[in-house]
Amino acid sequence: MAQEQTMKAETAAKKLGILLAAAPESFREGPVTRTAFDELRTEPPAWLEELRREGPHPRPVVAQKLGISISGLTRAGVDEPLTTAEIKALLQEMPEWLVRERATQAEVHSENARVKQQRADKAAARAQD
């Protein structure tokens, strides 16, 4: 009989968008089976729902909630995980660094959209030839 696939708790936490250090010890202490991981995604327990709702959140989630890049967090010196309340406070305060990083992120998204459209136009032109 084949052994079920497992992943490290750290990998599972990343895929679930949570901070491993904030997860219960029972989750952190061992490998997570594919079945257990699928259950966590489809029927999250109370602790997982609370972590996703309140935090503390890992850097990728903090960056996404602030509308900036992970590099923007680094440039701003934000090294620690933030809670949802801390993120909301930053969004209300809108410090200069956050305004600047959000503008940078908007420019990056705009440029990516422009390049994508340009490639699609070229592909369409080649298809007509």
Transcribe 4-50 into DSSP letters: PPEE-HHHHHHHHT--GGGS-HHHHTS-EEHHHHHHHHHS--HHHHH
Q: For residue 116, what pLDDT is reported?
A: 94
Asked if residue 56 has a cis previous peptide bond (ω within 30° of 0), the answer is yes
The token pair that represents 107 in the structure block: 């420019």
Q: pTM above 0.95? A: no
pLDDT band at 33 (very low <50, low <70, confident <90, very high): very high
129: pLDDT strictly greater than 80: no
* Cβ–Cβ under 8 Å, residues 32 and 9: yes
Average pLDDT over residues 54-72: 95
Average pLDDT over residues 9-24: 94
Q: How far apart are the first and last CA of the chain?
A: 55
